[in-house]
Amino acid sequence: MKTAIILNAESRSLQQQASEINTILKNLTAALSSIELWLFYTGRQPESVPEMDCPLSVIKMIAVKNSYLPEYYLYLLEQLIIKNPMDLLLFPSDGPGGETATRLAYRTGGSSSLQVEECGMASGRLEIARPFYGNNLRARFVLDHPPYCLSVARQPFQPVMMIPCDPRKMETVKLDQPHCDWITGVVTIPDQPDTGLAYADFVLVVGQGVKNKKTADVLQDVAEKIGAELGASRPVVMNAWIDMNRLIGASGLIISPKICIAAGVSGTGVFSVGIKNSEFIVAVNTDSNAPIFQIAHAGIVGDLQEILAELEKLIIAEKTGKGSHALHESGIET
């Protein structure tokens, strides 16, 4: 099966996207006859590429006039597929990757699926697995019609290294650029600055239990004092209590810290996928039946502000060498 990996060299998350595609390729490499990397770029041609876990037969460098509009990629990809027919095309986990995979499959008469966690061959056809029903179930599908256009599922932050381009495998591809006369203007909104949340070792994630912006600000201060990065569930960021770039879950960040405290979070499947790879999860909730306790390694039933206030005292005391005395004075039972 001939395969192409589609990546955008301009993406800030290029190395993470390559890592996520590597995860999919682990169980599929034996069924692939060749694997190509199609790297799109704007301006100067890249001198390095992300390190892939599979042998690449060729690295195609493709200039794109506008790196933000899917129409440009679709036009170029259609030309590439006509010249170089592919059975499988793997796209990044982000929004543009999913959109391009879906639209390209329609244009080429192929099959598409998004957020794919696993794939392999079954009786000569491609079988994929992906989350379903708000990440509460995992479903398997068999795709009938190539080319198979898949966007991969998001994974915990484990970016690959960038390595120098091997000139023996490099191929600069020159294609006609599209003329999208119907696009009268483009407004580019820059991404928010990196918070460090994706790769933090200690994270405090707060949910709807914070109730208001004032409490969220208090918990931001608590997180700073205990040395944790602050994350939030969707209701919190949608209410603008905490910045959107701190969203944890299926549509936000997938984290894997050493310690994750989930406070005031109910624990729906869409949220839980964002923290389930944490080494140790502590759940704090007033509802003893909250789903979050099902994935937690330790649970505390109580008011999040009271619990976190006591925890703050303990951590600060531990840092100042007064840990045992503070534990005796605190309201937390061990």
Tens digit of each residue's pLDDT (9 = 90 or more) over 91-146:
999 999 999 999 999 999 999 999 999 998 888 889 999 988 877 788 999 998 99
- Neighbouring CB atoms inside 10 A of 169's CB total 15
The answer, yes or no, to whether residue 147 has pLDDT greater than 70, is: yes
Burial 242-269 (b: 16+ CB within 10 A, else e): beebbbbbbebbbbbbebbbbbbbbbbb
Tens digit of each residue's pLDDT (9 = 90 or more) over 247-263:
999 888 999 999 999 99
> Is the Cβ–Cβ distance between 129 and 118 less than 8 Å?
yes
Q: How far apart are the first and last CA of the chain?
A: 56
The answer, yes or no, to whether residue 324 has pLDDT greater than 70, is: no
Domain limits of the chain?
2-173, 197-329
Q: Confidence class of residue 334 from pLDDT cuts 50, 70 and 90?
A: very low
Upstream peptide bond of 147 is cis (omega within 30 degrees of 0): yes
Q: Establish whether domains 2-173 and 197-329 are of one fold.
A: yes
The answer, yes or no, to whether residue 327 has pLDDT greater than 50, is: no
Please state at what angle helix 213-226 crosses helix 304-319, rounded to 10 degrees. Answer: 20
Average pLDDT over residues 220-235: 94
Q: How far does Cα 145 stand from its chain's mean position? A: 27
Helix (H) or strand (E) holding 6: strand 2-8
Measured CA to CA, the distance from residue 270 to residue 75 in angstroms comes to 34
CATH homologous superfamily of 197-329 equals: TPP-binding domain (3.40.50.1220)
Measured CA to CA, the distance from residue 104 to residue 112 in angstroms comes to 8
Task: State the Cα angle at 19 between 18 and 25, rounded to 5°.
Answer: 85
Q: Where are the alpha helices (DSSP H) in 11-113?
A: 14-25, 70-83, 95-108
Arch. (CATH architecture) of 2-173: 3-Layer(aba) Sandwich (3.40)
Tens digit of each residue's pLDDT (9 = 90 or more) over 11-20:
989 999 999 9
Tens digit of each residue's pLDDT (9 = 90 or more) over 32-63:
889 999 999 998 999 999 999 989 999 999 99
Q: Which two tokens stand for residue 104?
A: 């390209």
Tens digit of each residue's pLDDT (9 = 90 or more) over 175-226:
888 887 777 877 877 777 777 898 999 999 999 999 999 999 999 999 999 9
pTM above 0.75, yes or no: yes
